[in-house]
A and B are shown apart, each in its own frame.
Chain A
Amino acid sequence: MLELRDLSVHYGAVRALEGVSLQAAPGGITAILGANGAGKSSLMRAISGIAPVVAGQVLLDGQDIIALPPPARARLGVAHAMEGRRLFRQLTVEDNLRLAWSFGARREKLAASLAEVYARFPILETKARTAAGLLSGGQQQMLILSCTTIRNPRFLLLDEPSLGLAPIIVQQIYGFITDYAAKSGIVVIIAEQMAALALKVSRQGMVLRRGRVVLAGAGEELLRGRDGTTLAASYL
């Protein structure tokens, strides 16, 4: 269980998050929605420990981790695919995977973990010795996802995994995410601007606007709209 209680993130005078609370249970996907600058990335960064949290708590299975530095949180099972296709671009595909595995939970041997990744995304095996920065956008996103799953996380944070990708690739990526969430039974949180896309696969969703929660509920509900409050309206 991942829980946020009254979480606030400020960058100097900029209030990126103000008193946001959330409960995400394992075995389902939570969608964090909102326009540019709504605070989606700040929420994820607060969980992985790289945002300036000024108030509130982040609890993993009841344990408040707000005082822990990012590597300690990672060891507790937080895996964060940051926005902007963050990879070690000069390192090869396999080096990226090996590094992620080395500092992960290491539940399986490296060879077995790599084989699993390559079975899922064969193109990554073909490109194993290529610098990650030279991959196409879709391939980079596959690698980023694989770098998080190869760590055997318990709390998976995915920041706009569909950004800048062709629809067919988005399908593939989302297919992978839903499969993985169902199979692993962990907590998965996805930040997206494409609300419909994320809500279709999510158990619950939350809409942020200027750092505050303006709408929250079950995925289905948010998708269809409720009490005259349509999802689209809360964006404006």
Chain B
Amino acid sequence: MDDFFFSLLLAGISVGAVYALIALGLNLTFWTTKTLNFGQGSLMMLCAMLTVIIFSQGLAITLAVVGSLVVVAALGMFIERWTVRPALKSSGGSMGWVVSTLGFGIFLQGMAAKYFGSQAVAFPDVVFTAQDFVTVFGQYISLQYLVVLAVAVALILAFELFIRRTVWGQAVHAVSLDPELALVQGIPVRRLILGSFMLSSVLAGVAGVLIAQIGGTVDPAFGFDLVLLGFVAAVLGGMGSSLGALAGGLLVGVISKLVGGYVSTAAEHGIAFALLMLALAVRPQGLFGRPEVSKA
């Protein structure tokens, strides 16, 4: 296989797995509230940024990452309580959350620019450097990409196990199907919603750290494209479908890297939206989305 093609493919799969992670996070709040947290982009940025800052104070990188994730999880709670819940409560149009979550994201981005500067800062090499390779069958494989892929896939699996095999995962599913019935059955829906925003934010935070590791830098505007790419992945795969999130993520990752490599890096992210429009025209419910199941 052509070396260049192969490296693009691996890069595409790696970032695609991260997009899938973002898409899973979006799915999670969609399940519990039928809303998406568009502030996730800024949470990705903030998590990566905080990791750099804490790390630069001389703490271990794992501590830096965990500490940043805790901050991001708390912000996820804040977003649910103060941007999504009021928007859902207010009468007249239920789309207020789009503006309020996006707005909070832009606010975070502004704060980051003010306090950390708008320059890109270097993200530390966590396990391997960008120059570390292994060769398999004569192909160079970037270890950094491999690690990112491994972490993303492990998290996707853990998330799926949690949703499918645990009572709380089942409860999330139940809330997505009939919130009122869930309430009268004693499922603490409020807490579940809060938890879904926290977990979704943590997934975004991890995605931010992983992408920053690959890209090598992070700046305040860093997450904006990413949350949109995750959104494209989620819609492509079928909003709410886990398998769809994975397929959509990989599709977006691979196609955008191939376009970036063979056509132009300027078109790399744009192509995802072309893909989105095409998919919506051909198959609006997404690859794995099912049309609404009608009530018998």
Contacts and interface: CB of A to CB of B under 8 A. Distances in A.
Interface of A: 48-50, 69-71, 74-75, 78-80, 82, 86-91, 95, 98-100, 102-104, 133-134, 147, 151
Number of chain B interface residues as a range: 20 to 34
Nearest to A157: B184
A74 B167 CA distance: 17
23 contacts: A70-B184, A70-B186, A74-B183, A74-B186, A78-B184, A80-B184, A82-B180, A82-B181, A88-B174, A88-B178, A89-B295, A91-B173, A95-B170, A98-B167, A99-B167, A99-B171, A99-B187, A100-B185, A102-B171, A103-B186, A103-B187, A133-B295, A151-B186
B190 A91 contact: no
Q: Which 4 A-B pairs have the closest CB atoms?
A: A74-B186, A103-B186, A70-B183, A80-B184
Contact of A90 (B186, B187, B190, B293): B293
Contact of B170 (A48, A89, A99, A134): A99
Main secondary structure of the interface of B (DSSP, over half): helix
Main secondary structure of the interface of A (DSSP, over half): mixed
Contacts of A49: 183-184
Interface in B141-183: 167, 170-171, 173-174, 177-178, 180-181, 183
B177 to A, nearest CB: 5
Given A70-B183, A80-B184, A133 B171 contact: no
A98 B170 contact: yes
A70 B187 CA distance: 9
Contacts of B187: 71, 99, 103
Contact of B190 (A69, A75, A86, A99): A69
Contacts of B183: 49-50, 69-71, 74
A90 B293 CA distance: 8
A75 B191 CA distance: 15
Contacts of A48: 184
Given A90-B293, A134-B296, A99 B185 contact: yes
B188 interface: yes
Given A80-B184, A103-B171, 20 more contacts: A50-B183, A71-B183, A71-B189, A71-B190, A74-B185, A79-B184, A82-B184, A86-B180, A88-B178, A89-B295, A90-B177, A90-B293, A91-B177, A100-B185, A102-B167, A103-B186, A104-B186, A133-B293, A133-B296, A151-B186
